[in-house]
A = this chain, B = another copy of it.
Amino acid sequence: MLFAQGELLASAQAARAAARAGNTDPTSGVAEGLVQANLISVPRDWAYDVLLYAQRNQKAVPLLDVIEDGGVESKLAPGSDLRTDIPRYRIWHEGKLSAEVADVTEAWAEHPDLVSFLIGCSFTFEAGLTAAQIEIRHQTVGRNVPMYETNLACTPAGRLHGAMVVSMRPIPANRVAEAVQISGRYPAVHGAPVHVGDPDSLGIADLYSPEYGDAPVPLRPGEVPVFWACGVTPQAAIQASGVPFAITHAPGCMFVSDVLNESYAV
Protein backbone atom coordinates (compact mmCIF):
# COMPACT_ATOMS: atom_id res chain seq x y z
CA MET A 1 0.00 0.00 0.00
CA LEU A 2 1.35 3.42 -0.95
CA PHE A 3 0.76 6.26 1.49
CA ALA A 4 0.65 9.94 0.62
CA GLN A 5 3.34 12.25 1.88
CA GLY A 6 3.80 16.00 2.31
CA GLU A 7 1.05 18.31 1.09
CA LEU A 8 -1.16 15.53 -0.22
CA LEU A 9 -1.08 13.75 3.12
CA ALA A 10 -1.82 17.05 4.85
CA SER A 11 -4.86 17.58 2.60
CA ALA A 12 -6.31 14.19 3.60
CA GLN A 13 -5.69 14.86 7.28
CA ALA A 14 -7.26 18.30 6.90
CA ALA A 15 -10.36 16.81 5.22
CA ARG A 16 -10.87 14.37 8.11
CA ALA A 17 -10.23 17.12 10.67
CA ALA A 18 -12.80 19.34 8.95
CA ALA A 19 -15.42 16.58 9.04
CA ARG A 20 -14.55 15.99 12.68
CA ALA A 21 -15.09 19.69 13.34
CA GLY A 22 -18.54 19.61 11.75
CA ASN A 23 -18.07 20.11 7.99
CA THR A 24 -20.82 18.19 6.17
CA ASP A 25 -19.85 18.78 2.52
CA PRO A 26 -19.57 15.91 0.03
CA THR A 27 -15.99 14.79 -0.58
CA SER A 28 -15.87 14.74 -4.40
CA GLY A 29 -12.65 16.44 -5.48
CA VAL A 30 -11.19 16.41 -1.96
CA ALA A 31 -7.54 15.29 -1.58
CA GLU A 32 -7.40 14.27 -5.23
CA GLY A 33 -5.24 11.27 -5.91
CA LEU A 34 -6.15 9.56 -2.65
CA VAL A 35 -8.53 6.68 -2.10
CA GLN A 36 -11.93 7.49 -0.61
CA ALA A 37 -14.14 4.80 0.86
CA ASN A 38 -17.74 3.86 1.55
CA LEU A 39 -18.56 2.75 5.10
CA ILE A 40 -20.87 0.14 6.56
CA SER A 41 -20.71 -0.79 10.25
CA VAL A 42 -22.80 -3.62 11.68
CA PRO A 43 -22.94 -5.51 14.98
CA ARG A 44 -20.56 -8.48 15.17
CA ASP A 45 -23.45 -10.90 14.72
CA TRP A 46 -23.91 -9.58 11.16
CA ALA A 47 -20.23 -9.26 10.22
CA TYR A 48 -19.89 -12.72 8.67
CA ASP A 49 -22.87 -12.08 6.41
CA VAL A 50 -21.45 -8.73 5.26
CA LEU A 51 -18.02 -10.24 4.67
CA LEU A 52 -19.51 -13.06 2.60
CA TYR A 53 -21.83 -10.65 0.74
CA ALA A 54 -18.73 -8.63 -0.19
CA GLN A 55 -16.89 -11.75 -1.36
CA ARG A 56 -19.82 -12.81 -3.51
CA ASN A 57 -20.41 -9.35 -4.97
CA GLN A 58 -16.88 -8.03 -5.27
CA LYS A 59 -17.59 -5.62 -8.08
CA ALA A 60 -20.14 -3.74 -6.01
CA VAL A 61 -18.62 -4.33 -2.58
CA PRO A 62 -14.81 -4.33 -2.92
CA LEU A 63 -13.43 -4.38 0.64
CA LEU A 64 -10.45 -2.18 1.41
CA ASP A 65 -10.36 -2.62 5.19
CA VAL A 66 -12.24 -4.40 7.98
CA ILE A 67 -12.05 -2.93 11.49
CA GLU A 68 -13.26 -5.20 14.30
CA ASP A 69 -14.41 -5.03 17.91
CA GLY A 70 -15.73 -1.50 17.78
CA GLY A 71 -12.38 -0.17 16.51
CA VAL A 72 -12.51 3.36 15.06
CA GLU A 73 -9.13 3.69 13.32
CA SER A 74 -8.53 2.39 9.81
CA LYS A 75 -5.07 1.30 8.75
CA LEU A 76 -5.73 3.26 5.55
CA ALA A 77 -5.50 6.47 7.60
CA PRO A 78 -3.45 6.38 10.80
CA GLY A 79 -5.01 8.56 13.48
CA SER A 80 -8.45 8.45 11.85
CA ASP A 81 -11.71 8.09 13.75
CA LEU A 82 -14.51 6.36 11.85
CA ARG A 83 -17.12 7.90 14.17
CA THR A 84 -16.36 11.51 13.25
CA ASP A 85 -14.19 11.77 10.15
CA ILE A 86 -16.91 11.29 7.55
CA PRO A 87 -18.93 14.45 6.79
CA ARG A 88 -22.35 12.78 7.02
CA TYR A 89 -23.56 9.40 8.23
CA ARG A 90 -26.76 7.44 8.00
CA ILE A 91 -28.10 5.42 10.90
CA TRP A 92 -30.34 2.47 10.09
CA HIS A 93 -32.77 0.55 12.31
CA GLU A 94 -34.63 -2.55 11.11
CA GLY A 95 -33.67 -1.72 7.52
CA LYS A 96 -35.05 1.80 7.68
CA LEU A 97 -33.12 5.04 7.60
CA SER A 98 -33.64 6.60 11.01
CA ALA A 99 -31.27 9.56 10.94
CA GLU A 100 -28.67 11.40 8.91
CA VAL A 101 -26.07 12.94 11.21
CA ALA A 102 -22.58 14.46 11.20
CA ASP A 103 -21.20 12.36 14.06
CA VAL A 104 -22.02 8.82 15.20
CA THR A 105 -20.09 8.72 18.45
CA GLU A 106 -23.26 8.27 20.45
CA ALA A 107 -24.74 5.52 18.27
CA TRP A 108 -21.34 3.79 18.29
CA ALA A 109 -21.26 3.79 22.08
CA GLU A 110 -24.58 1.95 22.15
CA HIS A 111 -23.16 -0.84 19.98
CA PRO A 112 -19.67 -1.60 21.30
CA ASP A 113 -19.16 -4.66 19.06
CA LEU A 114 -19.45 -2.94 15.68
CA VAL A 115 -17.45 -4.33 12.78
CA SER A 116 -16.72 -1.69 10.15
CA PHE A 117 -16.17 -2.26 6.46
CA LEU A 118 -14.49 0.29 4.20
CA ILE A 119 -15.44 -0.24 0.57
CA GLY A 120 -13.74 1.08 -2.57
CA CYS A 121 -15.26 4.11 -4.23
CA SER A 122 -15.55 5.24 -7.83
CA PHE A 123 -13.66 8.44 -7.06
CA THR A 124 -10.49 6.39 -7.53
CA PHE A 125 -11.15 5.52 -11.15
CA GLU A 126 -12.69 8.96 -11.79
CA ALA A 127 -9.22 10.37 -11.17
CA GLY A 128 -7.96 8.06 -13.93
CA LEU A 129 -10.69 9.26 -16.29
CA THR A 130 -9.90 12.89 -15.54
CA ALA A 131 -6.21 12.26 -16.19
CA ALA A 132 -7.24 11.01 -19.65
CA GLN A 133 -9.32 14.17 -20.17
CA ILE A 134 -12.60 12.30 -20.03
CA GLU A 135 -15.02 14.77 -18.49
CA ILE A 136 -16.79 13.76 -15.28
CA ARG A 137 -19.98 15.66 -15.92
CA HIS A 138 -21.41 15.66 -12.41
CA GLN A 139 -18.18 17.20 -11.16
CA THR A 140 -18.28 19.87 -13.87
CA VAL A 141 -21.79 20.90 -12.86
CA GLY A 142 -21.11 20.57 -9.12
CA ARG A 143 -23.55 17.77 -8.39
CA ASN A 144 -23.31 14.41 -6.66
CA VAL A 145 -23.06 11.39 -8.99
CA PRO A 146 -26.47 9.83 -9.81
CA MET A 147 -26.96 6.32 -8.38
CA TYR A 148 -29.69 3.82 -9.23
CA GLU A 149 -31.11 0.62 -7.86
CA THR A 150 -31.08 -1.94 -10.66
CA ASN A 151 -32.86 -5.18 -11.46
CA LEU A 152 -29.54 -7.00 -11.00
CA ALA A 153 -29.84 -9.10 -7.86
CA CYS A 154 -26.67 -9.45 -5.82
CA THR A 155 -25.74 -12.99 -4.76
CA PRO A 156 -27.24 -13.42 -1.26
CA ALA A 157 -25.09 -14.26 1.77
CA GLY A 158 -26.71 -15.53 4.93
CA ARG A 159 -29.47 -13.07 5.83
CA LEU A 160 -28.28 -10.42 3.36
CA HIS A 161 -29.80 -9.87 -0.06
CA GLY A 162 -30.58 -6.94 -2.30
CA ALA A 163 -30.16 -5.28 -5.68
CA MET A 164 -26.95 -3.93 -7.11
CA VAL A 165 -26.72 -0.14 -7.04
CA VAL A 166 -24.89 1.50 -9.95
CA SER A 167 -23.52 4.97 -10.58
CA MET A 168 -23.86 6.59 -14.00
CA ARG A 169 -21.53 8.83 -15.97
CA PRO A 170 -22.32 10.07 -19.49
CA ILE A 171 -19.37 9.32 -21.78
CA PRO A 172 -18.93 10.37 -25.43
CA ALA A 173 -19.42 7.28 -27.62
CA ASN A 174 -15.89 7.54 -29.02
CA ARG A 175 -14.37 7.45 -25.52
CA VAL A 176 -16.40 4.62 -23.98
CA ALA A 177 -13.71 2.04 -24.78
CA GLU A 178 -11.05 4.13 -23.03
CA ALA A 179 -13.32 4.67 -20.03
CA VAL A 180 -13.74 0.89 -19.79
CA GLN A 181 -10.01 0.26 -20.05
CA ILE A 182 -9.00 2.96 -17.57
CA SER A 183 -11.54 2.00 -14.89
CA GLY A 184 -10.78 -1.68 -15.57
CA ARG A 185 -7.25 -1.05 -14.30
CA TYR A 186 -8.78 -0.55 -10.84
CA PRO A 187 -10.58 -3.86 -10.16
CA ALA A 188 -10.29 -3.31 -6.39
CA VAL A 189 -12.46 -0.19 -6.60
CA HIS A 190 -15.37 -1.37 -8.81
CA GLY A 191 -13.26 -1.78 -11.96
CA ALA A 192 -14.80 -1.78 -15.43
CA PRO A 193 -18.47 -0.82 -15.97
CA VAL A 194 -21.16 -3.42 -15.46
CA HIS A 195 -23.35 -1.97 -18.21
CA VAL A 196 -22.91 0.41 -21.16
CA GLY A 197 -25.97 2.16 -22.59
CA ASP A 198 -29.60 1.05 -22.46
CA PRO A 199 -30.77 1.96 -18.93
CA ASP A 200 -34.05 0.10 -19.60
CA SER A 201 -32.43 -3.31 -19.44
CA LEU A 202 -31.05 -2.44 -15.99
CA GLY A 203 -34.59 -1.67 -14.86
CA ILE A 204 -33.91 2.06 -14.72
CA ALA A 205 -37.21 3.64 -15.75
CA ASP A 206 -36.06 7.24 -15.64
CA LEU A 207 -32.40 8.20 -15.94
CA TYR A 208 -33.25 11.59 -14.48
CA SER A 209 -34.72 10.21 -11.22
CA PRO A 210 -31.89 8.39 -9.44
CA GLU A 211 -32.54 6.70 -6.08
CA TYR A 212 -29.36 8.18 -4.56
CA GLY A 213 -27.26 11.27 -5.31
CA ASP A 214 -28.37 14.06 -7.65
CA ALA A 215 -30.26 13.94 -10.94
CA PRO A 216 -27.91 14.22 -13.91
CA VAL A 217 -28.04 17.15 -16.30
CA PRO A 218 -29.42 16.16 -19.74
CA LEU A 219 -27.09 13.93 -21.73
CA ARG A 220 -25.63 15.57 -24.82
CA PRO A 221 -26.04 14.12 -28.29
CA GLY A 222 -23.46 11.40 -28.85
CA GLU A 223 -23.12 10.58 -25.15
CA VAL A 224 -23.80 7.12 -23.78
CA PRO A 225 -24.82 6.46 -20.16
CA VAL A 226 -22.20 4.17 -18.65
CA PHE A 227 -22.94 2.31 -15.40
CA TRP A 228 -20.48 1.21 -12.75
CA ALA A 229 -21.18 -0.96 -9.70
CA CYS A 230 -21.48 1.31 -6.67
CA GLY A 231 -20.42 1.10 -3.04
CA VAL A 232 -23.90 2.20 -1.94
CA THR A 233 -25.00 -1.38 -2.75
CA PRO A 234 -24.78 -2.44 0.94
CA GLN A 235 -27.29 0.30 1.82
CA ALA A 236 -29.78 -1.32 -0.57
CA ALA A 237 -29.08 -4.65 1.15
CA ILE A 238 -29.66 -3.12 4.59
CA GLN A 239 -33.10 -2.00 3.43
CA ALA A 240 -34.04 -5.17 1.56
CA SER A 241 -32.86 -7.43 4.38
CA GLY A 242 -34.13 -5.45 7.36
CA VAL A 243 -30.75 -5.35 9.09
CA PRO A 244 -31.51 -4.52 12.76
CA PHE A 245 -28.81 -1.88 13.11
CA ALA A 246 -26.22 -0.32 10.83
CA ILE A 247 -24.22 2.84 10.34
CA THR A 248 -23.15 3.93 6.85
CA HIS A 249 -21.74 7.02 5.20
CA ALA A 250 -24.24 9.26 3.42
CA PRO A 251 -23.92 8.82 -0.37
CA GLY A 252 -21.23 11.15 -1.72
CA CYS A 253 -19.78 11.84 1.74
CA MET A 254 -16.86 9.45 1.92
CA PHE A 255 -14.05 8.46 4.24
CA VAL A 256 -10.89 10.16 2.92
CA SER A 257 -7.85 7.89 3.36
CA ASP A 258 -4.11 8.53 3.18
CA VAL A 259 -3.62 5.86 0.49
CA LEU A 260 -2.69 6.68 -3.11
CA ASN A 261 -5.14 5.58 -5.82
CA GLU A 262 -2.17 3.93 -7.53
CA SER A 263 -2.08 1.35 -4.70
CA TYR A 264 -5.09 -0.25 -6.34
CA ALA A 265 -4.05 -0.02 -10.00
CA VAL A 266 -3.30 -3.22 -11.89
Contacts and interface: CB of A to CB of B under 8 A. Distances in A.
B66 A266 contact: no
Given A55-B63, A184-B266, A187-B187, 12 more contacts: A48-B48, A48-B51, A51-B51, A51-B52, A51-B55, A52-B66, A54-B55, A55-B55, A55-B66, A187-B188, A191-B266, A266-B266
Contacts of A68: 52
A93 interface: no
A188 B55 CA distance: 12
A56 interface: yes
Interface of A: 47-48, 51-52, 54-56, 63, 66, 68, 184-185, 187-188, 191-192, 266
21 contacts: A47-B48, A48-B48, A48-B51, A51-B51, A51-B52, A51-B55, A52-B66, A52-B68, A54-B55, A55-B55, A55-B63, A55-B66, A56-B66, A184-B266, A185-B266, A187-B187, A187-B188, A187-B266, A191-B266, A192-B266, A266-B266
Contacts of A192: 266
A158 to B, nearest CB: 8
A52 B188 CA distance: 16
A192 to B, nearest CB: 8
A192 B265 CA distance: 11
A90 B191 CA distance: 36
Contacts of A52: 51, 66, 68
Nearest to A191: B266
Nearest to A55: B63
